[in-house]
Amino acid sequence: MEHETFYTDLLCVGAGLAGERVAIEAAAAGFDAILLSLVPARRSHSCAAEGGMQAALGNCAMGEGDSPDVHFADTVKGSDWGCDQECARIFADTAPIAVREAAHWGMPWNRVVAGKAKYWKGGEEFEAEEKKEKHGLITARAFGGTAKWRTCYTADGTGHTLLYTLDNKITSLGVHVHDRVEAISLIHDGENCMGCVARDLKTGKLRVYLAKATLIATGGYGRLYSETTNTVINEGGGHIIALDTGLVPFGNPEAVQFHPTGVVPTNILVTEGCRGDGGTLLDVDEKRFMDKYEPAKAELASRDVVSRWMMYHIAQGKGVPSPYGDHLWLDIRHLGEKHITTKLREVYDLCRHFLGVNPITQLIPVRPAQHYSMGGVRTNSDGAAYGLKGLFSAGESSCWDMHGFNRLGGNSLAETIVAGRHVGIKVAEFLKGAEVTFKTELATQALAADAERIERLVRGADGNENVYAIKDAMQQVMMDKVGIFRNGDDLQAAVDTLREIYAKALKIGLKSNGIGANPELALALKMPGMVRLAICVAYGAQMRTESRGCHARDDYPARNDRDWLNRTLAYWTDLEADLPELKYEPSTQVMYLPPGDRGYGKTEIIPMDAPKED
C-alpha cells in the first residue's frame, strides 16, 4: 500500500493553542514533536477567540484583591460544581504564570494606564483610578461569572495574537507541523497507544505516524449542531478516533455550552467582551431585561444563565421578529466610537461586513448559538487519557475537567496554555520513561482497515447515501432537540432519530471519484463517527435527570447533588451497537469547595445529603 511513515516522540493531533503549548514543553525537554492539523496551524479555531483569557493578576483597579483562590471559586461555581476541583485548582494557580510566560514570548497584552479611567457597567458610566505602581502591567476586563475583572486581552484579537505567539515559538524550536493532515484512526494494541493513521488532505494519500506519546488536542465538536459559532473544522475528529478504540471514554458529552451573543443569521460570535465592557441586552421594546431576571449580575451572569433567560424572554413574546426567527438586541452604542473601534474592533468590522450594521449607531441582532464543548476525551489531572497508555489530551477536546457543566468566558483560552503547560510537563516526564517497541504489524493492520474503508466509500460498496444530507439531518436534530432547554420526550425522540441516521451513515457512498484532496471523502470518513458522538451527547442528556449548568431539563429543573454530582463516561465498546455504554464517576475526588449556591441563576438544589424519596 502506498504510504509514508513518520516516527516521533510526541505526536500532537491538533495544532491549536493546546497542541502547540504541549509541544513546546516536550520540545524544550529535548524531544521531537510533530503536530498534525486540518488547516495551517495559525488557522486553527483558537485564532478566532476574541475577548481574552482569565488569570488572577489583580493589576487593574477593578481586579484589585483578586487571587487564584477567588479565580478557583468562580470556576467551581461557574461549573455548577460539575468540575474536577483538583484540576480547577492547578488551573487557577498556574494561570498567572502562563500569561506572563506568553508575554515573555512576545504576546502584546494590553496594559494598565495609570490615572482616572472611564468604564461602563450595565449601561451606566463610572470612573476608576488606575494605580501608578501598576502602570504598564497586564490589565484585564470583565467577563461573565467573575468576582473581579480578570480577563487579560489584546484588544479583541486575543486568540489570534496568542496563537501567533505560540506558533512563532514552535517555529523557533524547530517543531514540525504537518498541516492539512487528518488523523483518521489511532494505532494501539489494547493497552498502549502508538500513533495514528492519517490522510494527507492535499494529496489524499494515507500516512502512518508512530509515536511514543500521542496527544489529542483537536478542539470542540460544535459542528454537531446546525447553529454554532465554531469554525467549520470543529467536527470532533479527535473524539471520534479516541471513542472508536472502544477503550477511551467520552466524558460529559452532554455538557454543551450555548453563547448568548451569536449574531443572527450567521451565528458569527460577538465577544462576551461586549457585555464585559458594559454592553446591554435589549428586547423588542428596546428595554433591558437581564437586570430583572438577575438583579446582581444582570448581563454578566454566566453564559448558561444568560442564554436561558434570553430564550425565556423570547418565549414571553419579547423577541424581535425577523425572517430568521425571533432574536434580541445587543447594545454597545453607549461605549462610544473610540472604544468600539479600538477595544472592540473585530466586533466593529464583523458587524459592518457581515450584517451591514454599524454598532456605533445601531443595535446588533443576537441569539444564543452553540459555542463550546465542555465534554471530551476523559483524562486524569496529568492529561493522560483513561483506557490507553501513552494517549493524552488537552484543550477543548479534553475532559480534563475544570469546566464541569459550564465554562466561564475567558477560561478556555486560559485552559489551552495553562493545561497545555501542565500536561506538557507530564508528557515530557512520560517520554523520559518511555520504552516503546512499535509493533509495525499493528500499523499495517490499521492502515489496511482505513484503506479498505476508503475503497468501499469510493466504490459505493455499502450503499449510496448522501453524506451531506446525513450531516444536515444530524445537525438539525441536535439543534431542535438537544439544545438549550431539554426534556425527556425530546431527548428520546432525538436518540431514536439519530439511531436511524446512524444506520444511513454506515451506508454512505461517494458521488465523486474521491481522488486527491477530495472533500466529500474527508467528510464521509468521519460522518459515522460524528453521528456516534451526537448519540453520546443526546443519550447522555437523556439519562441525566437533573439540571446543572448548561444542561437544563424542563422536566427536572433542580440541580440534584444527591444523585448527579458525577460525570458521565460514554464508552462505545460494541462497534455493532448503536448506543454507547454509560458509566459514571464522582465529579471530583477532592472537594475544596462543597456544593452550594452560585450566586446567580436561581435554581432549586437537591443537596448531597437529602434523603431519597420513595
Ligand X SMILES: Cc1cc2nc3c(=O)[nH]c(=O)nc-3n(C[C@H](O)[C@H](O)[C@H](O)COP(=O)(O)OP(=O)(O)OC[C@H]3O[C@@H](n4cnc5c(N)ncnc54)[C@H](O)[C@@H]3O)c2cc1C
User: Binding string to other proteins for residues 287 to 326, with x set by CB under 8 A, is what?
Assistant: ------------------------------------x---
User: Quick one: 589 exposed, middle or buried, by C-beta within 10 A (0-12, 13-18, 19+)?
Assistant: exposed
Q: Which of 3, 121, 131, 180 binds other proteins (CB under 8 A)?
A: 180
Site for other proteins in 492-521 (CB under 8 A): 510-513, 515-520
Is 271 a residue that touches ligand X (CB under 6 A)? yes
- Write out the binding residues for ligand X, residues 46-65 only, by CB under 6 A: 46, 48-53
Q: Does 413 bind ligand X (CB under 6 A)?
A: yes
- Can you tell me the distance from the alpha carbon of 595 to that of 589, in angstroms, rounded to the nearest whole number? 13
What residues contact 317, with CB distance under 8 A and at least 6 apart?
Answer: none
CB of 106 or CB of 190, closer to other proteins = 106
Selection from 383, 382, 451, 386 nearest residue 246 by Cα? 386
Question: Could you tell me which residues come within 8 angstroms of residue 235 by beta carbon, excluding any fewer than 6 positions away?
Answer: 221, 223, 224, 526, 530
Counting Cβ atoms within 10 Å, is residue 296 exposed (0-12), middle (13-18) or buried (19+)?
exposed
CB nearer to ligand X: pick between 245 and 416: 416
Instruction: Choose the contact partner of 138 out of ligand X, other proteins, none; CB within 5 to 8 A by kind.
Output: other proteins
Q: Which of 171, 316, 440, 445 binds other proteins (CB under 8 A)?
A: 171
172 vs 589, beta carbon nearer other proteins = 172
The yes or no reply on residue 17 touching ligand X (CB under 6 A) is yes
String marking each residue 104-123 x if it binds other proteins according to CB under 8 A: xxx-xxxxxx----------
- How far apart CA 548 and CA 373 sit, in angstroms, is 15
Which among 20, 80, 10 is positioned nearest to 404, based on CA atoms?
80
Q: Which of 275, 308, 327, 548 is catalytic?
A: 275
Contacted by 180, from other proteins, ligand X, none: CB < 5 to 8 Å by type: other proteins
218 touches ligand X (CB under 6 A): yes
Least distance CB 316 / other proteins (angstroms): 28
Give the max Cα distance, the chain. 72
User: Beta strand pairing status for 206-216 and 391-393?
Assistant: parallel
Kindly tell me which of 151 and 588 has the beta carbon lying closer to ligand X.
151
40 part of the interface to other proteins, by CB under 8 A? yes
Minimum Å distance from CB 195 to ligand X?
12
Instruction: Give the residue from 303, 316, 119 showing the smallest Cα distance to 229.
Output: 303
Q: Which three cell numbers stand for residue 492?
A: 428520546
Q: Which of 68, 96, 195, 219 binds ligand X (CB under 6 A)?
A: 219
**Which residues in the 314-373 window bind ligand X by CB under 6 A?**
371-372
Rounded Cα–Cα distance for residues 231 and 564 (Å): 32
For residue 204, state whether it binds other proteins (rule: CB under 8 A). yes
Applying CB under 6 A, among 229, 370, 393, 568 the residue interacting with ligand X is 229
CA distance from start to end of the chain: 62
d(CA 20, CA 179) in angstroms, rounded, equals 13
How far is Cα 507 from Cα 398, in angstroms, rounded to an integer? 30
**For residue 192, what are the contacts with CB-CB under 8 A and spacing of at least 6?**
388, 389, 390, 436
13 contact choice in other proteins, ligand X, none (CB below 5 to 8 Å, kind-dependent): ligand X
- 180 belongs to the catalytic site: no
Is residue 275 annotated as part of the catalytic site, yes or no? yes
Please name the residues in contact with 356: beta carbons below 8 A apart, sequence gap of 6 or more. none
Residue 52 binds which of other proteins, ligand X, none (CB < 5-8 A, kind-dependent): ligand X
Q: Which is nearer to other proteins, 255 or 269 (CB)?
A: 269
Query: b/e string for 562-579 if b means 16 or more Cβ within 10 A?
Result: bebbbbbbbbbeeeeebb
Site residues (CB under 6 A) for ligand X? 13-19, 36-39, 41, 44-46, 48-53, 158-159, 182-183, 217-219, 229-230, 233-234, 237-238, 269, 271, 371-372, 395-397, 409-414, 416
Task: Give the residue numbers annotated as catalytic, written as ranges.
Answer: 259, 275
